[in-house]
Structure 1
Amino acid sequence: MRALRPRGRSTFLSVVAMVVALGGCALASDPPAPEVGGQESAAPTSAPAAATPAADPALHDLLPERIKSAGVIRVASNIPYPPWEMYTTVGGQQPTGIDYDLSQALAAKLGVKASFDQTAFDSMIPALLAGKADIVMAGIFDTPKRRESLSFVDYAKDGYSLLVVKGNPQGMKDVADLSGKTVAVQSSTSEEAALSKLSKRFESEGKPGVTVLAFPGDSEAFLAIKSGKAMARVQATSAAAYAAKTFEDGNAFELVESPSITAEFGGGMEGIGVPKADTELRTALQKALQSLMDDGTYLQILSRYGVENIALTKAEIDQGTD
């Protein structure tokens, strides 16, 4: 979330059922978090929500006519993927998270509304290209492969880490420690492909490969670690750190960070995906994002979820690498 960001999740209710079966491991909700899944689940920050920015008529004028007429930007996303997008309560329908908050702030700055529409991960880009959505905001990485059909307004820079059970019983420290291990990922993500490539490299060096467990949902991959089916999860640092802080009040998982992990799995720029031909919308979003960066709204949103370290100071186009 992904050199892309992992996603393609099941519905939150199905995740809740699995959580209960495995002993009540819960996700935090909107900071500051209420009780979730029967547990007190503290969010990493209690920072208040950012104030709604005032509309800028000059930025509104940059929007394509179809969006001016509709008065809404349709955002395709895939929930849950904390802290990027999630629901405020278990079984609820109100989104929250970095992407939700930022989409609302961008729309307000542009003088329109933003719908935030739950979409299967594998269907987000096809929906965008088919005209069923205007943009994608789902914590996804801006990569050359994706830029074959999309352009990106980059809004964060993230790396990769391993998520392991609290106490790190396997003693993992870097990529080399994945040899011979079972690793959980989300299916149809770059992490899955990268692990397969890494496994083949290990085997070519005479070492045990990696056993990859791919799940349709992000939370299922977390629960595979919790239940002992997998020893680690490869994930973007922002999401893995949030999970480590919020699952079971921070007592379920811990983060393993190493330059070799980011080097192996990519990391890089995360961006708002826009159809390549939609240059008017891309320019409007870029300038609106820069305005939010300049007035402090952008950093306030990231601070609310404890991920100021992924912040950028300049809104740029298509700066992601493979």
Structure 2
Amino acid sequence: MISKAFATALVALAVALSVPARAADTVKVGITTTGVPFTFIDTSSQKPVGAMVDLAAAIAKDNGMTPDFKITAFSALIPSLKTGKIDMISAGMFDTAKREKIVDFSEPVYSYGEAMFVSADDEQNYTLDDLKGATVGAQVGTTFADALRERGTFGQVKLYDSIVDIMRDVKLGRIKAGFGDKPIVAYQIKQKPALGVRLVKGYEPMRSGKVALAVSKDNPELLKKVNASIEKLEKSGELAKIFAKYGL
């Protein structure tokens, strides 16, 4: 005959097993699909890959968590973090003073500036002054777009959802030049020559920045864990290996 205490224990165990894993065991990570080689979708597996995807996965693993990658438009990453749709941003996002007013950034993990690209048929290596009055393009929500508009010398600064969209219009002659994250632009041109654009040689970036992960200001505990993991990955050499895997 089963004792009352044993029966109670069995019921408690059954209830425990039926309860889903705690939300704290999963971290929702906001990424984009247009940030090759930082964040993108592998065409064969249809899964998110990239340096910042691998880094987020390594950080989650170090803290005993499972990453749940949420594909989000770049311009919607910070709003999604503020509303709780995601817990963390892991993309090619710069830590800027403006953004620091809204979110908390981790220690930097990579740094770079923007690149200028023109049609592959255009052999001139332009400076910003050469493009006075011209129509140029940049990705919406980036620091490069802000810098171009603040300069005030262009005929128009068109904003696009992705760098590939900018490249298309440069190739078709709809805009004179495009601007974007140098590692992303260089990687895409190398992988897809048919895009029909090239990097402008000798171009000096308007802004260089440091890439970092971002968390909500309401979640200092997560920021502490992220920074501790970054330090550990850096000391072990794993951080460098992650970026080297994608040619960074």
Letter in 1 for 2:189: A
The 1:68–1:142 alpha-carbon spacing in structure 2 relative to 1, beyond 3 Å, is farther
- Separation (CA, whole Å) in 2 of partners of 1:247 and 1:112: 36
Q: Which residue of 1 aligns with 2:32?
A: 78
1:298 and 2:242 correspond? no
Residue of structure 1 in register with 2:199 after alignment = 255
Q: 1:226 to 1:133 in 2, by over 3 A?
A: same
Show the counterpart of 2:140.
187
Amino acid at match of 2:119: V
How far is the alpha carbon of 1:128 from its aligned partner?
1.0
Question: Which of 201, 204, 229 lines up with 1:288 in the alignment?
Answer: 229
Equivalent residue letter for 1:75? V
Deviation of the 1:247 alpha carbon? 1.6
1:104-150 Cα offsets, whole Å, 9 max, x none, are 11111222211111112232212211222111112111011111121
Larger mean Cα displacement after TM superposition, 222-231 or 146-155? 222-231
Tell me if structure 2 keeps the 8 A contact 1:71–1:112: yes
Q: CA deviation at 1:152?
A: 0.7
Aligned pair 1:214/2:159, yes or no?
A: yes
Q: 1:124 to 1:71 in 2, by over 3 A?
A: same
Q: Counterpart in 2 of 1:101?
A: 54
Residues 142 and 152 of structure 1 are in contact (CA less than 8 Å); yes or no, is this contact kept in structure 2?
yes
Letter in 2 for 1:283: K
* Structure 2 match to 1:140: 93
Give the counterpart of 2:186 among 220, 241, 244: 241
Contact 1:163 1:244 in 2 (8 A): no
Counterpart contact for 1:84–1:139, Cα < 8 Å: yes
Please state how far the C-alpha of 1:180 moved relative to its aligned partner.
3.2
Q: Residues of 2 paired with 1:181 and 1:268: CA distance?
A: 26
Could you tell me which residue of structure 2 aligns to residue 41 of structure 1?
Answer: none
Equivalent of residue 172 in structure 1, options 125, 145, 149: 125
Give me the CA root mean square deviation: 2.2
Identity of aligned residues (%): 26
- Give unpaired runs (5+ residues) of structure 2: 1-20
In the alignment, what sits opposite 2:9? none
Q: Give the aligned partner of residue 3 of structure 1.
A: none
Cα distance 1:228–1:243, how it changes in 2: closer, same or farther (>3 A)?
same
- C-alpha distance in structure 1 between counterparts of 2:138 and 2:99, whole Å: 20
The structure whose Rg is larger is 2
Structure 1 portions without partners, runs of 5+: 1-66, 203-208, 308-322
Cα pair 2:138 2:158 within 8 Å, conserved: yes
Residues in 2 aligned to 1:305 and 1:174: alpha-carbon distance in whole angstroms: 29
Deviation at 1:258, TM superposition (A): 4.2
What residue identity is the alignment partner of 1:274? V
Q: Distance in 2 between matches of 1:197 and 1:93?
A: 38
**One-letter amino acid of the structure 1 residue matched with residue 232 of structure 2:** S
Bigger relative contact order, structure 1 or 2 (CA pairs below 8 A, ≥6 apart): 1
Q: Distance in 1 between matches of 2:114 and 2:202?
A: 8
Residue identity opposite 2:67 in structure 1:
A
Aligned residues: 227
Partners of 1:142 and 1:296 in 2: how far apart? 23
Q: How far apart, CA to CA, are the structure 1 residues paired with 2:114 and 2:237?
A: 26
Which position in structure 1 is the counterpart of 2:42? 88
Contact in 1 for aligned 2:120/2:171 (Cα 8 Å): no
TM-score (norm 2): 0.82
- CA 1:229–1:87: 2 relative to 1, 3 Å: same
TM-score with structure 1 length normalisation? 0.65
- The one-letter amino acid paired with 2:157 is V
Match of 2:72 among 119, 124, 143: 119
**Cα drift, residue 69 of structure 1:** 5.5
Deviation at 1:68, TM superposition (A): 7.3
